Every structure is written in structure tokens, then in C-alpha cells.
């Protein structure tokens, strides 16, 4: 595994999230010195299973489960301090040490405020069926304020309490007018918001650092750095299936702006893809199986959201979509996850292309109006039986499973160097 970390590496989701990034980051972190989150916020949910114990992180990098690893939260993250401290308290209670020694937070990160969550939920509720199906964690409104600038609050602002007070009073005053007119929402008490965030700031202070500067020093010192992507390439605000995306650059491209390092810092890009497709929330999904196949995958794969517990929509693997993500993210190694879930199916389909208005498309198009109309073209492969979770070498897998993996890697254009056959850290085959 060390090879993946020579020249540092980024782990990135290639579908619509929940590919098992948490599991693979934790697996690779055995050889890492530093793990960095660079995008998104508490809308992410990364699960890890160690010796039967289950953990889920929303904001903390998964490196917290490896003693000695330094975990960084980059400037590209939108931080909800309430969730952060809840997560820290819960993990510390369970014996996972978290302190300013192994966790550092960028002073440039932006904060998710209570009115962001209120606006996210109000907007989704008012839109009804036309909503995006967000996690209601305030992500879109927090990033909007970041771009808006005068209505944003950053981690650094927490250290200047007098100015923070003024800022919060101004922003909440303005926001209350908007929320009232648009959604007839009750006003937020600015003083309460100020006091809560002032206290969060005092608690956060020992963790706050200059993450970009630290990373540049670590890279120069030859430390092995892993960038933990959240969400996935198809949810990237610029390159995903817009508008059914999240509000950050959550492909690998976001790591440079989201953590503050130059591009040559990272040589390896490990793309995570599950052996089928899932999507939570709304938006086009060409290979969706809203039938007994989808139900079979959901139940065997426990495909329920880590953050919201919503049932995930399930379907066949979409090689058209993943090839696009592999190209976009510069992926040079794949980790294929959840292969065990497909055991027991007679046959397995792979989408190898799309037909659009009678014509074959030669490349994925991140345009929801086109995607909503495309017809997937499938190749069918034989399935396999039996529990493969105990396999520890690729050659131990049923021949049909091996063929499935080899077919996928050829279609997406990158080698499957890791194959995951169960949620446990140890259920990972390296090729």
C-alpha cells in the first residue's frame, strides 16, 4: 500500500457518493502520515469498520482511526461546529483519541451557521418534488455566502469576538428579512447565534492552524499525505450532473484550492467505485433499477444513507459515467468496492454506452436534460454464487467475479488495484 502514498495520493469517489471512500481511506491510512479533508461538510458520511466496531465520520478525516496520523480540515470545507464537537465527543467517548495534536483546522474554512440549515430546509420543503433532495445540512447556503463574501463567517472570525458580534448581528438581521419574505420563517435570535459561536470558537481555538502552510512543509519533509475526497465526481458543482450536485468541487480537482497545495503535490489518484451504482437524493440516474434487482442490491449492500438514513436508489454499474470521472480526476488506480453485494445474481449488467434520440453518444454528458432521456446500452455477464467476503487474494474469487472486475477496469480505463469484499478494514484484496 505504501506505493500509493509515494508522491502522495488523493482518494476520490467516481459515482454519486457512498462508494466506500471511508473504508479505503482507512485501509490506506496505515501508511499515511497526514490525512486531509478538502471539500464539503457534514453532508458527507464516511463509514469505517474495525474489528466489528462501526464508526461514521461526517467532518473528521478518517485518519483519526490510525494512531500517529495528523488529520487536517482544509479551507475548502464548510464546518458546522456543532457537528464537529458532537463527533469529537462521541469518538473520544469510544476511545478514539482526538486532540490538537492529531487534528488541525484551517483558519480559512467557512462556517455553517444555523440560518444556513434553516434556509436549506425551507428551500427544499417549498420546492417539494422540484427540490434537489439535499441533506439539509446547510451546505448550499454556506457556500453561497462564501462566494457572496460580506455575509460569510470563517473560522478566523471566531478569534475576533467583538468583530464577530457585529458581523453576526448584521448578517442575521439581513437573513431574517429574507427568510420571512420568502418562507414566512420565524426570526433567528442573533445574540444567541453569536454567543453559541463565540463559545464554539473558544473551544476550537487550540485546533486552528494554517493548514496550507503545514501541508507545504509536510510535503517538503517527505511526509506521506492522503487527500480524502468527500461526495464524488458526479456531484461536483462544475463537472457533475448539475443542478443535482453538491455545492463544492468534490472531484479530485478541488483538492488544490480546497487545501492550499500546488498541483505537483499529488502523484496518485485512487478512484473509488462500487460494483454497481447508487444515488441518494434526486437527479437523473440512467441505470437505476427501481425493481427487485434494485431492492436486492439495497438490502444486501445496506444501501441506506450514512448521514440521512434515506434509502439509496440502486442500479447497474454505469461505465459511461465512471469513465468520465476517471478521465476528469486523473485516476491511475481503482479501488472497486462492495463486490460481495452482487453475489447470488444469475447475471449482471454493465452499461457500456448511451443512446440519445436514436444516436449512440461517444462520451458522458453532464447535462441533466440529456441524461434524463438517454437509454443505457448494456452488456450482460454471468453472475456468481457464494459468500466472497472471506477471500483475501484475487485468485480466490469465483472466475465470474474475476471476469466482472477485469471487464470493468477495461471499460473505465484504469486498473483495479484494490478490490473490497466486505466492510471490514481487512476485507480488501490488493492486486
Which residues are at the interface with ligand IMO (CB under 6 A)? Answer: 13, 17-18, 43-46, 132-135, 137, 139-140, 230-232, 235, 246-247, 280-281, 306
Nearest to 280 by CA among 10, 11, 19: 19
Sheet arrangement for strand 103-106: 208-209, 103-106, 70-73, 34-37, 225-228, 9-13, 268-274, 333-337, 416-420, 428-430
**Residue with Cβ nearer ligand IMO (45 or 114):** 45
Burial of 428 (0-12, 13-18, 19+ CB in 10 A): buried
Contact set for Mg ion, span 290-329 (CB under 5 A): 306
d(CA 278, CA 353): 18
Check if 362 is active-site: no
Q: Measured from the CB of residue 40, what is the shortest distance to ligand GDP in angstroms?
A: 10
User: Residue 240 touches which of ligand IMO, Mg ion, ligand GDP, none (CB < 5 to 8 A by kind)?
Assistant: none
Q: How far is the CB of 38 from ligand IMO (least distance, A)?
A: 12
Rounded Cα distance, 184 and 340, in Å: 49
Provide the pairing of β-strand 103-106 with 70-73.
parallel
The strand pair at 225-228 and 34-37 is best described as parallel
CB of 16 to ligand GDP, least distance (A): 10
Which range, of 101-109, 234-242, 402-410, 420-428, touches ligand GDP by CB under 6 A?
A: 420-428
**Span of 16-24, 219-227, 399-407, 408-416 interacting with ligand GDP by CB under 6 A:** 16-24
Asked if 420 interacts with ligand GDP (CB under 6 A), we say yes
Rounded-to-integer distance, Cα 83 and Cα 138, Å: 12
229 binds Mg ion (CB under 5 A): no
Q: Quick one: which of 240, 271, 283, 422 contacts ligand GDP (CB under 6 A)?
A: 422
CA distance 154 to 81: 11
Quick check: 25 and 226 in contact, CB under 8 A? yes
Nearer to ligand GDP, 55 or 364 (CB): 55
φ, ψ of residue 279 to 5 degrees: the values are -155, 135
Q: Closer CB to ligand IMO, residue 21 or residue 224? A: 21
Which of 26, 31, 33, 46 is catalytic? The answer is 46
Question: Under 8 Å CB-to-CB from 144, ≥6 apart: which residues?
Answer: 247
Residue with cell 457585529: 166
Query: CB of 282: closest distance to ligand IMO in angstroms?
Result: 6
d(CA 12, CA 231): 8
Closer by beta carbon to ligand IMO, 42 or else 266: 42
Give dist(CA 410, CA 167) in Å, integer: 54
Per-residue CA distances from 340 to 23, 274, 296, 334, 360 (Å): 15, 10, 12, 17, 32
Question: Minimum distance from CB of 325 to ligand IMO (Å)?
Answer: 13
Min CB(28)–Mg ion separation in Å:
17
Total residues at interface with ligand GDP (CB under 6 A): 23
Q: Which is nearer to ligand GDP, 20 or 376 (CB)?
A: 20
Helix axis angle, 139-148 relative to 114-127, nearest 10°? 120
Q: How many residues does the chain have?
A: 431
Instruction: Pick from 5, 421, 425, 429 the residue near ligand GDP by CB under 6 A.
Output: 421
Does residue 157 bind ligand GDP (CB under 6 A)?
no
For 109-250, where are the alpha helices, taking DSSP H only? 114-127, 139-148, 161-183, 190-204, 211-220
Give which of Mg ion, ligand IMO, ligand GDP, none residue 422 binds (C-beta under 5 to 8 Å, depending on kind): ligand GDP
- Decide: is 322 part of the binding site for ligand GDP (CB under 6 A): no
By CB under 6 A, is residue 77 in contact with ligand GDP?
no
Helix (H, G, I), strand (E, B) or coil at 320: helix
Single residue of 12, 19, 188, 280 touching ligand GDP by CB under 6 A: 19
Q: Does 401 bind ligand GDP (CB under 6 A)?
A: no
Of 41-70, which residues contact Mg ion (CB under 5 A)? 45
Distance CA 282, CA 246 (A): 11
Which is closer to ligand GDP, CB of 373 or CB of 424? 424
- Asked whether position 279 contacts ligand GDP by CB under 6 A, the answer is no
Single residue of 20, 260, 271, 286 touching ligand GDP by CB under 6 A: 20
46 is catalytic: yes
**Interacting residues with Mg ion (CB under 5 A):** 18, 45, 306
Binding residues for ligand GDP, per CB under 6 A?
Answer: 13, 17-23, 45-47, 49, 301-302, 306, 337-338, 340-341, 420-423
Active-site residue numbers? 18, 46
Amino acid at each position: 500500500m505504501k506505493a500509493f502514498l509515494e508522491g502522495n495520493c488523493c482518494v476520490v469517489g467516481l459515482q454519486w457518493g457512498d462508494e466506500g471512500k471511508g473504508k479505503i481511506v482507512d485501509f490506506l491510512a496505515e501508511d499515511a502520515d497526514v490525512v486531509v479533508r478538502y471539500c464539503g461538510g457534514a453532508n458527507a458520511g464516511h463509514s469505517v469498520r474495525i474489528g466489528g466496531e462501526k464508526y461514521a465520520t461526517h467532518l473528521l478525516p478518517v485518519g483519526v482511526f490510525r494512531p500517529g496520523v495528523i488529520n487536517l480540515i482544509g479551507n475548502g470545507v464548510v464546518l458546522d461546529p456543532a457537528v464537529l464537537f458532537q463527533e469529537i465527543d462521541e469518538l473520544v467517548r469510544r476511545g478514539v483519541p482526538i486532540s490538537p495534536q492529531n487534528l488541525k483546522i484551517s483558519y480559512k474554512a467557512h462556517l455553517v451557521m444555523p440560518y444556513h440549515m434553516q434556509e436549506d430546509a425551507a428551500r427544499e420543503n417549498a420546492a417539494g418534488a422540484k427540490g434537489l433532495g439535499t441533506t439539509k445540512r446547510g451546505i448550499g447556503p454556506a457556500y453561497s455566502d462564501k462566494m457572496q463574501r460580506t455575509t460569510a463567517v470563517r473560522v478566523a472570525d471566531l478569534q475576533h469576538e467583538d468583530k464577530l458580534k457585529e458581523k453576526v448581528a448584521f448578517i442575521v438581521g439581513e437573513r431574517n428579512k429574507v427568510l420571512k419574505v420568502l418562507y414566512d420563517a420565524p426570526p433567528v435570535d442573533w445574540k444567541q447565534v453569536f454567543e453559541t459561536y463565540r463559545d464554539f470558537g473558544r473551544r476550537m481555538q487550540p485546533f486552528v492552524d494554517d493548514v496550507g502552510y503545514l501541508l507545504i512543509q509536510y510535503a517538503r519533509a517527505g511526509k506521506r499525505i492522503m487527500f480524502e475526497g468527500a461526495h464524488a465526481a458526479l456531484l461536483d458543482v462544475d463537472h457533475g450532473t448539475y443542478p443535482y450536485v453538491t455545492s463544492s468541487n468534490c472531484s479530485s480537482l478541488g483538492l488544490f484550492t480546497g487545501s492550499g497545495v500546488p498541483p505537483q503535490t499529488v502523484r496518485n489518484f485512487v478512484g473509488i467505485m462500487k460494483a454497481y451504482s447508487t444515488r441518494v437524493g434526486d437527479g437523473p440516474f440512467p441505470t437505476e433499477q427501481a425493481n427487485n434487482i434494485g431492492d436486492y442490491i439495497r438490502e444486501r449492500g445496506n444501501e441506506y444513507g450514512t448521514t440521512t438514513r434515506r434509502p439509496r436508489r440502486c442500479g447497474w454499474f454505469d461505465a459511461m459515467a465512471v469513465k468520465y470521472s476517471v478521465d476528469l480526476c486523473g485516476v491511475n488506480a481503482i479501488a472497486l468496492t462492495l463486490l460481495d453485494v452482487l453475489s447470488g445474481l444469475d447475471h449482471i449488467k454493465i452499461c457500456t454506452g448511451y443512446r440519445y434520440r436514436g444516436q449512440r453518444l461517444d462520451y458522458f454528458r453532464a447535462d441533466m436534460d440529456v441524461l434524463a432521456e438517454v437509454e443505457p446500452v448494456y452488456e450482460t455477464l454471468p453472475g456468481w454464487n457464494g459468500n466472497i467476503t472471506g477471500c483475501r487474494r484475487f485468485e480466490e474469487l469465483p472466475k465470474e467475479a474475476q471476469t466482472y472486475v477485469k471487464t470493468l477496469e477495461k471499460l473505465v480505463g484504469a486498473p483495479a488495484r484494490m478490490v473490497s469484499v466486505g466492510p471490514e478494514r481487512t476485507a480488501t484484496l490488493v492486486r
